[in-house]
Amino acid sequence: MFHLTPSLWEIIEEGSHTKVKEWVIPSQPKSKVEINMITASKQVVLVDLYVKWNNDLQAEIMIFPKEGQNQHVTKMLDRLQTRLNETNFELLEEKEKLEDAIQQNNKLSAPFIQLTDETSLIPLFGDISEEKLLTIKDQILLNAHTHESDCLLFDFTAVGEMHQEGVYVLKDIFTSLLYMGKEIVIVGVKPIQAQRLHHLKIRFNLSFVTSLQEALNRFGA
């Protein structure tokens, strides 16, 4: 999306300079800043800028475009609107309630549980679908950025079917977490699920543990 420039400053929109000066500094070891950036096509886009300082001279950043985060929601709403064009208002209202219920259920499918200062547990529930993983992706990454846990236990004990599209989103989540410096431990996967995860071909190693109890004993929770 952006040209590689000698300085990040060159692709930050002028109106965001003050905010960046205040927050993107070594005295703030971790920060999240909402700013405007300039794309390669000279468009101004709103992004979340995550910053983690390794030392006073070096920091790692991750950029998440705001519109990209909501793209899947927009597609869902467009499909819903098409189907409801010939229905009455009461049916529309019921459909909206159902969509809200599904959305809320998806958000509860991956709670972030701090076990110790170093370890957090993320139990996954239900099928691994694209819709569900896109719903919980941002909250997982935000919680991982906010908490100090270096080790994240992803518990697959209650996971059902793993859809291919959902597995692709899961790969994106794992890759982002690994770039954050997090250790990922996969807990309680079934043999067929383990095959799917091995096919992700992530450049870094994922650790696998048979049961949650074993994981808790091994990682000091």
Between residues 10 and 92, the one the model is more confident about: 10
Model pTM score: 0.53
User: For residue 77, what pLDDT is reported?
Assistant: 62
Q: Are 124 and 139 in contact (CB under 8 A)?
A: no
Q: What does each C-alpha distance from 78 to 65, 102, 134, 199 come to in angstroms?
A: 20, 17, 17, 33
Angle, vertex CA 145, rays to CA 149 and CA 143, nearest 5: 80
pLDDT value at 86 more than 70: no
Please name which of 98, 168, 156, 99 lies closest in space to residue 127, comparing C-alpha atoms.
156
> What are the start and end residues of each CATH 3.30.750.24 domain in the chain?
109-218
Rounded-to-integer distance, Cα 94 and Cα 87, Å: 11
Q: What is the pLDDT of residues 113-153, one digit of tens each?
A: 888 888 999 988 888 888 888 888 888 998 898 888 899 99
- Which residues have C-beta within 8 Å of that of residue 18, sequence separation ≥ 6? none
Retrieve residue 128's tokens. 């691994």
Lowest-pLDDT choice from 63-67, 124-128, 173-177: 63-67
User: For residue 206, what pLDDT is reported?
Assistant: 79
Q: What does each C-alpha distance from 108 to 72, 163, 169, 173 come to in angstroms?
A: 18, 19, 17, 17
Q: What is the pLDDT of residues 104-114, one digit of tens each?
A: 555 555 688 88
pLDDT value at 156 more than 80: yes
The domain covering 109-218 belongs, at the CATH homologous superfamily level, to STAS domain (3.30.750.24)
